[in-house]
Chains A and B, each alone.
Chain A
Amino acid sequence: MAVEHPVTAPSGDQTRIHNIGYRNYDGPRLGRAYARRSLYSQSLRGSYGLGRSVKSKVLPMLLFVVMCVPAAIMVAVAVATKADELPVDYTRYAIVMQAVISLYVASQAPQSVSRDLRFKTVPLYFSRPIETADYVRAKFAALASALFVLTAAPLLVLYIGALLAKLDFADQTKGFAQGLVSVTLLSLLFAGLGLVIASVTPRRGFGIAAVIAVLTISYGAVSTLQAIADAQNSTGSIAWIGLFSPVTLIDGVQSAFLGATSAFPGGIGPSDGEGVVYVLVVLGLIAACYGLLMRRYRRVGL
């Protein structure tokens, strides 16, 4: 909006004198809360590669499509075969697709925080009105929202499909709502873990590897141990072992309280009492991730 003073141009030529003097800004300054929201929206858009290079859009968009396509196929099958229920529960969908979700967290958590550390952009943020807590909250909320979009979108596809297939409305709505609660917890937990791990290293590669290791290897190890426990008929310990991986934690919570069928060996989820422990561990982990991030960034000065 450079102020232009068009010179009298009798012959209609393009001659113009641009006023290139410095102009002071005396408009509004919207302060901390606005800056935090700006950081949130920038980070959320960045999680899908928006506002970044074409190359960085490929993976998140691809994963988003991979998340949604199976849901669309299931819906198509359900509509075509006039089935009286969807092939998969709303709550089960994220557990089935957990590898895709883990891959997404592994790619986008380092993108969100390691870049700022690696290119030392963090000091620029903290030389502005926002404080550590604002930065951590904005980044945490942005990744959790991005994960929620990733995990809730296929549920929405399923739900719309189910309504198109004229399945029982009350039933489907309840299932959908339970699914949303479950993926909300999952988004918060995965985002927290991903960010804590990624914020330790400025190297993106290490961040990606570490997040995959924590999310996937822990799931593999826990599943194996649970299978062994099942084979040895010590069914009591299956639920407790499940506390040690993020995926099984979410699985435990939703099979105890959200009407999900458990993916644990033998299909036996935690009991109500054990379920309470699951919920506490999930909430505790989310809070711990937040606390660790705060501690991490308090030490990142200029």
Chain B
Amino acid sequence: MACVTNFDDVTVIVTESLSKRFPRVTALDRLSVDVGPGVTGLVGANGAGKSTLIKILLGLSPATEGRAEVLGLDVASKGADIRERVGYMPEHDCLPPDVSATEFVVHMARMSGLPPTAARERTADTLRHVGLYEERYRPIGGYSTGMKQRVKLAQALVHDPQLVFLDEPTNGLDPVGRDEMLGLIRRIHTDFGISVLVTSHLLGELERTCDHVVVVDGGKLLRSSSTTDFTQTTTTLAIEVTDTDAHPDGTRAVREALHARGVAVLDGNSGLPGAGHVLLLTAQGEDTYDVVRDVVADLGLGLVRMEQRRHHISEVFTDGDATDDQQRKEAVNHGS
């Protein structure tokens, strides 16, 4: 994964022991994180504090303690300046159904301070860049979920911000739509030169898109590292093979053959239907793929699938990373 950095070591977002407490819940607990330019994933389960963090970074909700800067501007005092330079795509639906995408995005461009003519030009450009063409003149009410997500993205980009916050942009999309959206997010940085902070509860999809991933849980920082670190340690392959007359239980044959070749196979019996036919193994780089291919071919079996499994946050806990352990210890200390 290419690490694209147009700016020289500028930090886009800095938080220092940022906390946000509500009467009943602690949404953020002494979160300290540095985010550089590029595409940064913010991963956490629902309720992990992602949306709260974005609200604070937009200067809309005061932090209980700690401080934060966005683009070098303090969130507590420079909220309006920050909001002029960043874009925000909310997680929820936010589009009125009875206006066209063009009208809506023009209005939002003007709300960001663009003069009328510039607002219209930027709207036409931005809608084209997110992949909306003739349909942009039709009322939004008739759009598919994928098109609506594109309009939401367009309104976040229309004023050419330096940074965009995308809150769960792949929510509700089918796999193809998901991939298109992820590709678009990648382009926001590589082609448009805009830094991105994108949230998701799926680590797997952010691994492929982001330069850097920040994992939060229960308002605490679990881990912050570049995605290359993640992929090296957490890629899990799922393999499914056919049975033949020579090998009535193909799965077992492959398991044994892989074992003989020194590739550890994880326990695939997760209790799900058909799980017995799926082998899970940890990929140790490119070689593993070749080994699997050779083993399956040697046995004369058909390879039904070999895919990277999408990880959930829980798996971040399972790898014995030293820094991770330290983070967790800190978290425990904080909790007590």
Enumerate chain A interface residues (CB-CB to B < 8 A): 1-2, 20-25, 27-32, 34-35, 38-39, 42, 51-53, 56, 115-116, 119-121, 123-131, 301-302
Q: A30-B115, A42-B107, A121-B95 are in contact. List 4 more A-B contacts (CB 8 A).
A: A28-B113, A116-B96, A119-B95, A128-B84
Q: How far is the CA of A100 from the CA of B51 in the complex (A)?
A: 45
Which residue of chain B lies nearest to A18 when distances are taken between CB atoms in the complex? B128
Interface residues in B52-100 (C-beta closer than 8 Å to A):
54-55, 58, 60-61, 80-81, 83-84, 87-88, 90, 92-99
Q: How far is the CA of A28 from the CA of B112 in the complex (A)?
A: 11
CB–CB A24/B96 < 8 A: no
Closest 3 CB pairs of A and B: A25-B160, A127-B88, A38-B110
Separation in Å of the B95 CB from the closest CB of chain A?
A: 6
Q: How far is the CA of A284 from the CA of B24 in the complex (A)?
A: 37
Separation in Å of the A4 CB from the closest CB of chain B?
A: 13
CB–CB B93/A38 < 8 A: no
Separation in Å of the B293 CB from the closest CB of chain A?
A: 40
Contact among B87, B107, B114 for A29, CB-based, below 8 A: B114
Q: How far is the CA of A29 from the CA of B160 in the complex (A)?
A: 11
CB–CB B112/A29 < 8 A: yes
Chain A residues closer than 8 Å to B129, beta-carbon distance: 20, 22
B135 proximal to A (CB < 8 A): no
CB–CB B159/A25 < 8 A: yes
Contact among B55, B93, B124 for A120, CB-based, below 8 A: B93
Separation in Å of the A118 CB from the closest CB of chain B?
A: 9
Q: Which residue, A35, A127, A301, has most C-beta atoms of chain B within 10 A?
A: A127
B103 proximal to A (CB < 8 A): yes
Q: How far is the CA of A21 from the CA of B192 in the complex (A)?
A: 9
Q: How far is the CA of A121 from the CA of B151 in the complex (A)?
A: 13
CB–CB B98/A127 < 8 A: no
Interface residues in B95-141 (C-beta closer than 8 Å to A):
95-99, 103, 107-108, 110-115, 118, 121-122, 124-125, 128-129, 139
Chain B residues closer than 8 Å to A20, beta-carbon distance: 128-129
Contact pattern, B 139-161, Cβ under 8 Å of A = 1, otherwise 0: 10000000000000001000110
CB–CB A301/B125 < 8 A: no
Chain B residues closer than 8 Å to A42, beta-carbon distance: 107, 110
CB–CB B111/A301 < 8 A: no
CB–CB A30/B113 < 8 A: yes
Chain A residues closer than 8 Å to B94, beta-carbon distance: 119-121, 123-124
- Can you report 6 residue pairs joining A to B where beta carbons are below 8 Å apart? A21-B191, A29-B159, A34-B110, A35-B111, A129-B81, A130-B111
Which residue of chain B lies nearest to A56 when distances are taken between CB atoms in the complex? B98
Q: Given A22-B192, A120-B93, does the pair A2, B155 have CB atoms closer than 8 Å?
A: no
Contact pattern, B 23-48, Cβ under 8 Å of A = 1, otherwise 0: 00000000000000000000000000
Q: How far is the CA of A47 from the CA of B220 in the complex (A)?
A: 47
B193 proximal to A (CB < 8 A): yes
Q: How far is the CA of A127 from the CA of B114 in the complex (A)?
A: 15
Separation in Å of the B9 CB from the closest CB of chain A?
A: 21
Separation in Å of the A131 CB from the closest CB of chain B?
A: 7
CB–CB B192/A127 < 8 A: no
Q: Which residue, A29, A38, A53, A120, has most C-beta atoms of chain B within 10 A?
A: A38
Chain A residues closer than 8 Å to B193, beta-carbon distance: 22, 24
Chain A residues closer than 8 Å to B122, beta-carbon distance: 25
Contact among A2, A31, A129, A131 for B125, CB-based, below 8 A: A2
Q: Given A301-B55, A302-B60, does the pair A125, B111 have CB atoms closer than 8 Å?
A: yes
Chain B residues closer than 8 Å to A130, beta-carbon distance: 111
Separation in Å of the B109 CB from the closest CB of chain A?
A: 9
Separation in Å of the B132 CB from the closest CB of chain A?
A: 13
CB–CB B114/A119 < 8 A: no
CB–CB B83/A127 < 8 A: yes
Separation in Å of the B22 CB from the closest CB of chain A?
A: 12
Chain B residues closer than 8 Å to A51, beta-carbon distance: 99, 103
CB–CB A127/B96 < 8 A: no
Q: How far is the CA of A244 from the CA of B179 in the complex (A)?
A: 60
Q: Which residue, B81, B83, B95, B97, has most C-beta atoms of chain A within 10 A?
A: B83
CB–CB A27/B118 < 8 A: yes
Which residue of chain A lies nearest to B90 when distances are taken between CB atoms in the complex? A123
CB–CB B111/A39 < 8 A: yes
CB–CB B111/A38 < 8 A: yes
Separation in Å of the B131 CB from the closest CB of chain A?
A: 11
CB–CB B110/A35 < 8 A: yes
Chain A residues closer than 8 Å to B124, beta-carbon distance: 1-2
Q: How far is the CA of A30 from the CA of B116 in the complex (A)?
A: 11
Q: Given A38-B107, A127-B58, does the pair A53, B114 have CB atoms closer than 8 Å?
A: no
Q: How far is the CA of A243 from the CA of B329 in the complex (A)?
A: 66
Q: How far is the CA of A1 from the CA of B120 in the complex (A)?
A: 9
Q: How far is the CA of A29 from the CA of B159 in the complex (A)?
A: 9
CB–CB B98/A52 < 8 A: yes
Q: Given A23-B125, A27-B118, does the pair A131, B80 have CB atoms closer than 8 Å?
A: yes
Q: Which residue, A31, A51, A56, A128, has most C-beta atoms of chain B within 10 A?
A: A128
CB–CB A120/B92 < 8 A: yes
Separation in Å of the B205 CB from the closest CB of chain A?
A: 23
Separation in Å of the A139 CB from the closest CB of chain B?
A: 13
Chain B residues closer than 8 Å to A301, beta-carbon distance: 55, 60-61
Q: How far is the CA of A21 from the CA of B110 in the complex (A)?
A: 23
Interface residues in B174-225 (C-beta closer than 8 Å to A):
191-193
Q: How far is the CA of A53 from the CA of B193 in the complex (A)?
A: 37
